[in-house]
Structure 1
Amino acid sequence: MRAALLLLLISLAAAENGIDAWLRYAPIPEANSFKDFVPSTIVVLNDSQISPVYTAGQELQQGINSILGQRCQVAYEGSDDSSIIVGTVEAYASTGGSIDGLQELIADGYYISTSAGGVLILGENERGALYGAFAFLETLATGNLSAGSYASNPDAPVRWVNQWDNMRDGGTHGSVERGYGGKSIFFWDGQYARLLASIGINGIVINNVNANETTINDTNIEGVARVADAFRPYGIQIGLSLYFSSPANLSHLDTFDPLNEEVIAWWNNKTTQIYSHIPDFAGYLVKANSEGQPGPLTYNRTLAEGANLFARALQPHGGTVMFRAFVYDSKTLNQTTNWKADRANAAVEFFDGLDGKFEDNVVIQIKYGPIDFQVREPVSPLFTHLENTATSIELQITQEYLGQQAHLVYLPPMWRELLDFDLRVDSQPTPLTSILNGSRFGTKRAGGYAGVVNVGTNTTWLGSHLAMSNLYAFGKTAWYGASAPSPSEIIDTWTRLTFSHDPTVISTINALSLASWPTYENYTGNLGLQTLTDILLGHYGPNPASQDGNPWGQWTRADGNSIGMDRTVSNGTGFAGQYPTEVAEMYERIETTPDELMLWFHHVGYTQKLHSGKTVLQHIYDAHYEGAAMAQTFPVQWEGLKGLVDEERYEHVLYRLRYQAGHSLVWRDSICNFYFNKSGIADELGRVGNYRYRIEAEEMELVEGYKVYQVKPFEAGSGGGWAIATIANNTRGVAEASLDDFFEKSGLSDGTYDVAVNYYDQALGNSTWELWLMDGNGEEALVGEWKGDLEYNLGRAPSPYIDGQTAARVTFNGVQVGRDMKLRIVGVPDGLESAAVDYVSILPEGVVD
């Protein structure tokens, strides 16, 4: 079976469908100029097939052959200076090789020396040698190989990824929570380990943080051991998320109290059992006392006592506990009765007084912001409260709140802002990176980086080709820390490796990527409002009302006159006071709070002036229109790459960018209409609520099978929240509109236009639609047809509802439209999907309604 799957992977790679990601090793234009630097013999200083050094030799052979068209032979002994030698420093020295003058290496670090005579790739350990091999091949694949030598050491020891894969038998088997790239990678013989090793990742937690007791039953441990076997040749250690109450679920014990001697013995035995199957097991990830999960607080024990239970069980084996700081009690958060209630306060409050009480092998894993992977948050202040405890930053590569890979959002610019932010502990320079690598506080053990990736079996891994730039960038960020290449440099290198060396391809993907995060922020939630997604459902489409009154504390406290969370010490929740003095003082006052975080820290009137001079509400209107307008340019920019990118990937990306352009308008209108309706304050430019080029579906003549439908939330439907849907799931719907009134309202004349239809693609079936035009003589012409199958083609969280999650848009260009014509929509429902339609737009070229 493994051989058959390998053949499948090879054939898929040839089709350029993304399976090789940045490890395509495509031939480079300047191949001949590099052959003098690349010998044809590779000496590999370890012949064990489970060794990362052996893997390095195989990778070098494959890469050089593919990039240069130069076949290399592999040997496992000798140290010929006219060869490529790869191994550990120790192994090289044992062959008589000179290591005089070798720059100092730390664990996982590597040294590369390239000359016209040979190449030397040495690692401090075997994993470092593999990293060095990948670094050499990357330099070769980007056309940047030159003579010289250098050493590279990781900035922090923890460079882990988390996979939220579900392991419970039953309906969730093989699924990935907040994963948008298909079923679990661990139920498929892919090459995930290879991808991760190529960017310096050294650990992976392979199951959902919302774990269950079956994770560590005897059967699963044997299965995890097989996964560990597959990852071991790439130097990646396997870890597991734990369910805190497992002793009470899997044994005769009726308690999981972390101080109970029987519970302690149970975990010691279970940990020993795991290490007997997986000798290089990385350790545990623990989510406790959050969102209904059990934990030490159940027994009035501290979080430190809970973490140390596992730390002590792991210590004899050299394992690590990653203890998540994502701790809050959704059952006690009440927005309506307590002005000072604030989920953002939770982490610091729960960890208060615990610094220095954790065992040395505990790393506190802290989300980058105090809430939950929002489009913009301030740096979590908890990092400054743990001076004697190692910490790692949790970044999310899977775009849970950020467009779920259906929207292009390149995340490194956000990460860079967070990692470079100066927290000013004791009024001294304290960039976040200096806390993570241990240099600022001199902690006994440094922490690092944890990335929530959630790849799946889709050949693009994440469901989108361009989204993979975030995974690549995470590895570079975790390896280099403060000295990482800029987001622009990272995307340029990634593009060369993934797509092409063509300057137009590189510059276009660079421009799209760097514009994507601010664009998404603009048309979703800005000024620190968070990403105004539907918090009650899939965390994807717009639903600003859901952000208030929920028990999860992602609040905006919006009413008819004002908006924003007052997090000041003087009058609010006190959150601002959790920061060191200088930062706290900045956030305490409106005058010194940056506009982009104004509504995160302050509750103000809609007419409050920002530093920009605009009112809060006008900024919201303007930003949403600017963001949606920018999103319209994304597919146009990509279309300039036709013929420069292979057809399969070109069409895949174009499909998503066109979808994003349409969905950005849904976002724009939903948010703007919601706040217009709530505040009663009009847009100064008269845009909100005024759509001169639209024909509302509910105002059309419902000829057959359609009925008027009230969209919920109302703002997810144009024209006050109305749409049309079929009366029954076995009856087609027909709606018509004479265009006389439209031309009168719009001021247009007969001509060629773009015709767009906004509709709802529920994940309950695959409805089909047709758009027809009939002229004054009764002649009919089919403008276009489409199918409701986005749940198969996008990967974002599916929804059964007619709402902002399922709202979509299809556009037909260059359509001849006249005043004497009649427009007809025919919708054929499928399953329980009701072929719903919101509106039709007839647009002059280049205009967006």
Structure 2
Amino acid sequence: MLTLLVFAFLGLAFAENGIDGWLRYASLPRDVAAGARIPGVIIALNDSVVSPIFTAGRELQKGIAGITGVQLKVSSTTTGNTSSITVGTLDSVASAAGQVANLPELTGDGFYLDTTGSGARIIGHTERGALYGAFEYLSMLAQGNFSEVSYASNPSAPIRWANQWDNLDGSIERGYAGPSIFFKNGAVVSDLTRVSQYARLLASVGINGLVVNNVNAALAANIPLLNSANIAGLGRIADAMRPWGVRLALSLNFDAPRNNGGLATSDPFDSAVIKFWDDKTAELYRSIPDLAGFLVKANSEDQPGPLTYNRTLADGANLFAKALKPHGDGLVMFRAFVYDHHLTEDNWKNDRANAAVDFFKHLDGQFDDNVVIQIKYGPIDFQVREPPSPLFANLLQSNVAIELQVTQEYLGQQNHLVYLPPLWKTILDYDLKVEGQSSVIGRDILTGHRFNRSTNGYASVINVGTNTTWLGHHLAMSNFYAYGRLAWDPLRDETQIVEEWAHLTFGSDRKVIDTITDMSLESWPAYENYTGNLGIQTLTDITGPHYGPNPASQDGNGWGQWTRADATTIGMDRTVWNGTGFSGQYPPEIAAKYEKIETTPDDLLLWFHHVPYTQRLKSGKTVIQHFYDAHYAGAETVQSFPERWASLKGLIDDERFNEVAFRLEYQTGHAIVWRDAINEFYRNMSSIPDDQGRVGNHTWRIEAEKMTLSGYQAVSVTPFETASGRKAITTSSNQTTGTATATLDFPSGVYNIGVNYYDVMGGRAKYEILLNGQTLGKWEGNLEDKLGNTFSSQLNGHSAARVYFKGVNVEKGAVLTIRGTPDGGEPAPLDYVSILPIGRVD
């Protein structure tokens, strides 16, 4: 009976759904656990259940039990037992055990961790810092690290916030993992269990603030956030997060006085408007006494703001700053994402990238001391590669925070594995050379050291949802983890971070850690290659869901994410001498580098220069040939991901293993869609062929529209490049099953068969593939049930997908048939079939 119970326990432990993220506290292998030196009791020097120190005590108890099997008692007072884990603030430890000698300097939410001797001491500069130290200690134990250490760790900056883009109706803008854990039907949800679990994850990586609702608050003005019922609900959210040291902040609708307050104006100088915000802020503090502050997006993308009333952006920010000031240390995070999205592309000088500096530089020094300018890492919008925002070099008297995005809005929407820290590090490690002095963004500017500004930091969009994976893709959680680690210490190595995360998330097997690390580090360069490289931006559909390819959408509109591509040339001229002048927004040494093609790095060439497709890169290739080669290389890289992941079968629990395997295989097909779409678009535009003859030449491909059709019809696809051969097939009606048949003229052998189809919203079509009348397999157009990206109801690059049937024996002359049965608005669309020799990438 005991044996059965043990195996039952192991089976349950092995089934995981991702809810604990990297805080699994999985039991160590017996031989490793034998080296653990676990003290006999936990002393948490605060017995208030809302105290982060009380939380730290319970978390240590839980973690040590899971990791080592040792059950420890938790006490709030010293016991005389020298073999104890003591956790508290410097003051509480000194009060309980006497003055702590030779303690390194602690600042902000810093902590001191000492595991020398028979016990352990975890001392925080704040209660929150003590909790962070407890998580650090547990992270060591969970990785089998029982070293004796004695060190202090201080955060690089005081602001380390997450931004949620949740709406009160329960939807999440740019959310890819289910609906909101905070809101539903216009109110705060009743069960806040997931909120507490989220706060635990945030705290474990040192994130101390959470903006709980969508920054586009003006778009949700029909559901007033600040009515009394919702303010009470927000108080409950704050209560759920408080034990984890995570403070609540809110996105505000600048026009709330007029929209929801019954006033005729939202002018920041109007006395009634000032009173409205003073009163609402006081009401919020009565419900949320430790309110972290406000996030404000104003005069951006048609949202109202102070410019609407002929006031400055500083006037608008200071309105909220003054409302917060009497209540403590609340901050206004004022977004620098202000630009005109009705620009005329015909004007060679127009440039959205100039906007942040144009709008904010002249206001430097006019913001109140509790205002922080939140600046996106690049001048456009979370693209696959951008230079750093020059605004960091132009605000010398203002508090600043960098805005990153864990949410992969332009970067695969958590269907594509894209490990983001290597991208972020291109910004954080960048030296802007302000006034000729070293001005590294992470090390010098965001720490406040360079310009003697103490209230700086980090914000990142992290749109978790109700999916137990939190972000939809288990591997996407590495970006969440890494954001917290880099906000604490921007000098940390991105390889070390992902190795640590993989160990904590998937276990200690070296093969597992190395495989995940290698794939992760390859993923961003691969994604950049098969989407948009040389600084041309991501080339996704910017007027649509920001997911699949649509390079034409970049140009011909007012959004300003232009490529200025035509039949002979491509790229934005952002030079001072001939272009938009953007390069001149940087300090002289940096500006001089970007002024000339010869000194501009190839990976940003098309960001700064308008050149012929035949322009030679430093590699010797032309721009257009680099495009072709890079898109093939990037897509080829991700083709290896499923096989490498498959090698881990049995080393990872089945549930998480299978879910990751599904998304990695989906990515291989969508990467090919991206590759072909971008290459075909620019080949068509430039009329320059690929010198390797690959683009538009698919030897192993059968176009669906060229098969023998019954109940199917050929249709054009828009944009044209998102269909192989520019056409696809759909059933003739939504009541008719269609068949597409072809006689295979390939040498007899073993093949992998790939079928490209479109999975559109509006139904769940059913498909069957047969060879000589024998069923090879079936599938359903139900990716909307399995993936979280923004879906489309049209045949295009967002809905394009691929399904595989591998290791199929094919005789020359065999008859291949695909049957498609439509459902609702999904007419069983097909694009093509690839018959691929084993090992060949389509």
Partner residue in 2 for 1:106: 107
Question: For 2:97, what is the secondary structure of its paired residue?
Answer: coil
Map of 1:396-435 to 2, 5 A cutoff?
396-433=405-442, 434-435=444-445
Structure 1 letter corresponding to 2:782: D
Distance 1:35 1:234 in 2: 30
Distance 1:323 1:487 in 2: 29
Q: Deviations over 1:610-651 (max 9, x none)?
A: 111100000000000000111101111111111111111111
Partner residue in 1 for 2:4: none
Map of 1:724-739 to 2, 5 A cutoff?
724-739=729-744
Deviation at 1:32, TM superposition (A): 6.1
Q: Deviations over 1:240-274 (max 9, x none)?
A: 00000111122232011111122112111111110
Map of 1:362-511 to 2, 5 A cutoff?
362-433=371-442, 434-443=444-453, 445-482=454-491, 484=492, 486-511=493-518
Q: Deviations over 1:13-42 (max 9, x none)?
A: 863110000000001126665666311311
Distance 2:228 2:583 in 1: 47
Question: For 2:193, what is the secondary structure of its paired residue?
Answer: coil
Deviation at 1:500, TM superposition (A): 1.3
Partner residue in 2 for 1:203: 209
Q: Deviations over 1:143-191 (max 9, x none)?
A: 1221131111101000000000001xxxxx1111101011112145211
Tell me, yes or no, if structure 1 residue 793 matches structure 2 residue 786: yes
Contact 2:306–2:312 (Cα < 8 Å) also in 1: yes
Distance 1:23 1:698 in 2: 51
Partner residue in 2 for 1:152: 153
2:589 counterpart (582, 587, 596)? 582
Partner residue in 1 for 2:171: 175
Structure 1 letter corresponding to 2:829: A
Structure 2 letter corresponding to 1:159: R
Distance 1:302 1:32 in 2: 61
Partner residue in 2 for 1:89: 90
Deviation at 1:818, TM superposition (A): 1.8
1:549 counterpart (544, 547, 556)? 556
Tell me, yes or no, if structure 1 residue 330 matches structure 2 residue 350: no
Distance 1:374 1:121 in 2: 40
Distance 1:33 1:737 in 2: 60
Contact 1:698–1:722 (Cα < 8 Å) also in 2: yes
Tell me, yes or no, if structure 1 residue 38 matches structure 2 residue 38: yes
Number of equivalences: 816
Distance 2:176 2:762 in 1: 18
Map of 1:105-144 to 2, 5 A cutoff?
105-144=106-145
Partner residue in 1 for 2:670: 663
Partner residue in 2 for 1:73: 73
Partner residue in 1 for 2:753: 755
Deviation at 1:819, TM superposition (A): 2.2
Map of 1:479-628 to 2, 5 A cutoff?
479-482=488-491, 484=492, 486-628=493-635
Distance 2:322 2:204 in 1: 32
Deviation at 1:293, TM superposition (A): 0.6
Contact 1:608–1:615 (Cα < 8 Å) also in 2: yes
Question: Which consecutive unaligned segments of at least 5 residues does structure 2 have?
Answer: 1-9, 183-188
**Which segment drifts farther, 93-102 or 628-637?**
93-102
Deviation at 1:848, TM superposition (A): 1.7
Question: For 1:466, what is the secondary structure of its paired residue?
Answer: helix
Contact 1:79–1:95 (Cα < 8 Å) also in 2: no
Distance 2:95 2:393 in 1: 45
Question: Which consecutive unaligned segments of at least 5 residues does structure 1 have?
Answer: 1-9, 168-172, 775-779
Contact 2:361–2:391 (Cα < 8 Å) also in 1: no
Question: For 1:391, what is the secondary structure of its paired residue?
Answer: strand
TM-score, scaled relative to structure 1: 0.95
Deviation at 1:477, TM superposition (A): 0.1
Question: For 2:134, what is the secondary structure of its paired residue?
Answer: helix
Contact 2:33–2:144 (Cα < 8 Å) also in 1: no
Partner residue in 2 for 1:723: 728
Structure 1 letter corresponding to 2:107: I
Distance 1:512 1:252 in 2: 55
Q: Deviations over 1:690-722 (max 9, x none)?
A: 00111100001112x211010100000001x10
Tell me, yes or no, if structure 1 residue 817 matches structure 2 residue 810: yes
Deviation at 1:104, TM superposition (A): 1.1
Question: For 2:679, what is the secondary structure of its paired residue?
Answer: helix
Partner residue in 2 for 1:777: none
Contact 1:287–1:326 (Cα < 8 Å) also in 2: yes
Deviation at 1:652, TM superposition (A): 0.7
Distance 1:221 1:595 in 2: 51
Q: Deviations over 1:555-606 (max 9, x none)?
A: 1011011000111111111111100001001011111000000000001110
Distance 1:34 1:553 in 2: 60
Tell me, yes or no, if structure 1 residue 696 matches structure 2 residue 698: no
Contact 2:759–2:782 (Cα < 8 Å) also in 1: yes
Tell me, yes or no, if structure 1 residue 685 matches structure 2 residue 692: yes
Deviation at 1:784, TM superposition (A): 1.4
Partner residue in 2 for 1:270: 280
Distance 1:220 1:734 in 2: 54
Question: For 1:37, what is the secondary structure of its paired residue?
Answer: coil
Distance 2:25 2:730 in 1: 50
Distance 2:272 2:805 in 1: 68
**Which segment drifts farther, 339-348 or 209-218?**
209-218
Partner residue in 2 for 1:803: 796
Deviation at 1:524, TM superposition (A): 0.3
Deviation at 1:11, TM superposition (A): 12
Change (3 A) 1:30 1:364: farther
Structure 1 letter corresponding to 2:729: I
Partner residue in 2 for 1:346: 355
Deviation at 1:831, TM superposition (A): 1.2
Distance 1:477 1:495 in 2: 16
Q: Deviations over 1:436-456 (max 9, x none)?
A: 11001112x231110100000
Distance 1:787 1:107 in 2: 53
Change (3 A) 1:817 1:628: same
Distance 1:28 1:550 in 2: 57
Distance 2:165 2:836 in 1: 43
Distance 1:588 1:30 in 2: 61
Deviation at 1:115, TM superposition (A): 2.8
Contact 2:44–2:53 (Cα < 8 Å) also in 1: yes
Deviation at 1:493, TM superposition (A): 0.5
Contact 2:36–2:146 (Cα < 8 Å) also in 1: no
Change (3 A) 1:165 1:679: same
Q: Deviations over 1:191-217 (max 9, x none)?
A: 100000000000000000000441222
Distance 2:498 2:783 in 1: 28
Q: What is the Cα-based RMSD across aligned positions, in Å?
A: 1.4
**% identity of equivalent residues:** 59
Contact 1:13–1:19 (Cα < 8 Å) also in 2: no
Structure 1 letter corresponding to 2:712: Y
Tell me, yes or no, if structure 1 residue 26 matches structure 2 residue 2: no
Deviation at 1:12, TM superposition (A): 9.1
Partner residue in 1 for 2:6: none
Deviation at 1:724, TM superposition (A): 0.3
Partner residue in 1 for 2:167: 166
Q: Deviations over 1:354-374 (max 9, x none)?
A: 001000001100000000000
Question: For 1:95, what is the secondary structure of its paired residue?
Answer: helix
Question: For 1:583, what is the secondary structure of its paired residue?
Answer: helix
Change (3 A) 1:681 1:267: same
